[in-house]
């Protein structure tokens, strides 16, 4: 069973260490792969899922596809499968913490930082969508940030759903916090699509900028009703220091009709970048420049890195885009110089 704490136990070839995170779709542990002699992040899914043949088959198929993607902002999968009736993912252990911790630490993030994170997550989503994958669960808890703000999108193929039809929320066991990131069409049991992921990314941007989700609710029912029937307040109405250009961009990403959203996550990110650059060009104040983030010496795509705590999210940050505002070069996913690796709690 993956429901109890496995710290100090053995799971197949893995020696299970500390619990790094726990969520509705399983638990993540630091573990040692005794065959490969490397430390990994081991995700164990609830045992009941292995008995769902449709879910188990999709889990294997999508994990296999993700493992082949090679997109720098998708956390690498070393292995996956089933041991003793429990589905598992063996992933790179990365240094840092999730975006939720960053938002919680400072309330909201600087627009420059938000755009940099959105661009990286959008690159991961576009790569997945091009391969025929839909994430289904884009939210701050599934975005890991290294100390220099290199972003990873995690948990592809984990959200419980059957091909061709999403399950009812009661079957999914979705928490109120997750409901806030689901596109309105999913509440009508429609299939998740790339447009659903664009909506989730827009919610992440909205919350990162304002410190709250677009449709908060005390219950699932109230949050769902708000998402289905009303438009959220524009970001600038919640924080007058935000550039007005973000309103149009974020609100389009949050459109209730999927056809009215950006066609791709990359288009949404590019529009957010343009809004920020326009605001920076007109701003009479000095805008902080962020130095480029580089991978640690000796780190390659297969180099495991031990854990370290994430620095204070409210302090200075960097990201892999290179110098930006107002005169530095724009960040383009195709210009990435490679990832910087570390650890986070994946839930």
Identify the pLDDT of residue 161. 40
Sequence length of the chain is 347
pTM for this entry? 0.76
pLDDT over threshold 90, residue 275? yes
Mean per-residue pLDDT over the chain, rounded: 80
Same topology, domains 10-92 and 97-335? Answer is no
DSSP 8-state code for residue 7: T
Identify the pLDDT of residue 36. 96
Q: What is the mean pLDDT of residues 234-248?
A: 96
Write out pLDDT tens, residues 56-95: 888 888 888 888 888 999 999 999 999 999 999 999 999 8
Asked: is 10-92 a CATH 3.40.718.10 domain? The reply is no
Percent residues over pLDDT 90 in the chain: 56
| Coil, strand or helix at 189 | coil
Identify the pLDDT of residue 47. 82
Identify the pLDDT of residue 317. 40
Query: With DSSP H G I counted as helix, E B as strand and the rest as coil, what are the percentages for the chain, rounded to 5?
Result: 35, 15, 45
Question: Which tops the pLDDT comparison, 299 or 56?
Answer: 56
Catalytic residues, by residue number, are 137
Identify the pLDDT of residue 279. 86
pLDDT over threshold 50, residue 326? no
Q: Classify domain 97-335 by CATH architecture.
A: Orthogonal Bundle (1.10)
pLDDT tier at 335 (50, 70, 90 boundaries)? very low
User: Tokens representing 213?
Assistant: 């989700």
Domain boundaries, the chain: 10-92, 97-335
pLDDT tier at 324 (50, 70, 90 boundaries)? very low
Q: Residues 346, 75: contact at Cβ < 8 Å?
A: yes
pLDDT over threshold 60, residue 105? yes
Identify the pLDDT of residue 231. 94
pLDDT over threshold 50, residue 322? no
Strands (E), the chain: 10-11, 14-23, 26-33, 38-44, 77-83, 86-92, 97-98, 143-145, 151-153
pLDDT tier at 52 (50, 70, 90 boundaries)? confident
Order across the sheet with 10-11: list the strands. Answer: 10-11, 14-23, 26-33, 38-44, 86-92, 77-83
Identify the pLDDT of residue 59. 85
- Distance in angstroms between the alpha carbons of the first and the last residue of the chain: 17
Nearest to 21 by CA among 40, 48, 41: 41
Identify the pLDDT of residue 302. 45
Identify the pLDDT of residue 127. 95
pLDDT tier at 331 (50, 70, 90 boundaries)? very low
317 Cβ contact partners less than 8 Å away, ≥ 6 residues apart = 113, 148, 149, 290
Which residues does the annotation place in the binding site for ATP? Answer: 43
Helices and strands (H and E) in the chain: how many? 10, 9
Write out pLDDT tens, residues 125-176: 999 999 999 998 999 999 999 999 999 999 886 654 433 444 444 344 444 4
């Amino acid at each position: 069973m993956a429901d109890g704490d496995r710290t100090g136990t053995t799971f197949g070839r893995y020696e299970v260490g500390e619990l790094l995170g726990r969520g509705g779709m399983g638990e993540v542990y630091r573990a040692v792969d005794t065959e490969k002699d490397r430390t990994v992040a081991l995700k164990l899914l609830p045992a009941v899922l292995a008995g769902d043949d449709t879910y188990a088959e999709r889990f294997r198929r999508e994990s296999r596809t993700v493992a082949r993607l090679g997109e720098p902002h998708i956390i690498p999968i070393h292995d996956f499968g089933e041991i003793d009736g429990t589905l598992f993912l063996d992933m790179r252990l990365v240094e840092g913490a999730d975006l939720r911790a960053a938002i919680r630490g400072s309330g909201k993030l600087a627009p420059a930082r938000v755009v940099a994170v959105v661009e990286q997550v959008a690159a991961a989503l576009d790569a997945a969508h091009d391969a025929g994958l839909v994430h289904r669960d884009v939210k701050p808890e599934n975005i890991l940030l290294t100390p220099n703000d290199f972003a990873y999108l995690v948990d592809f193929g984990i959200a419980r759903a059957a091909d061709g039809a999403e399950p009812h929320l009661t079957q999914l066991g979705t928490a109120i916090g997750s409901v806030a990131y689901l596109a309105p069409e999913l509440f009508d049991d429609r299939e998740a699509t790339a447009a659903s992921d664009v909506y989730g990314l827009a919610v992440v941007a909205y919350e990162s900028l304002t410190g709250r989700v677009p449709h908060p609710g005390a219950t699932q029912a109230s949050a769902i009703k708000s998402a289905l029937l009303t438009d959220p307040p524009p970001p600038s109405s919640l924080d007058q220091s935000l550039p007005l250009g973000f309103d149009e961009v974020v609100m389009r990403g949050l459109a209730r009709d999927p056809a009215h959203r950006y066609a791709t996550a990359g288009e949404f990110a590019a529009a957010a970048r343009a809004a920020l650059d326009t605001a920076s060009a007109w701003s009479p104040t000095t805008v902080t420049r962020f130095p480029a983030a580089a991978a640690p010496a000796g780190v390659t795509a297969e180099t495991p890195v031990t854990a370290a705590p994430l620095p204070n999210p409210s302090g200075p940050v960097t990201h892999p885009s290179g110098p930006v505002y107002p005169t530095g070069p724009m960040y383009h996913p195709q210009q990435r110089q490679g990832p910087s690796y570390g650890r986070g709690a994946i839930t």
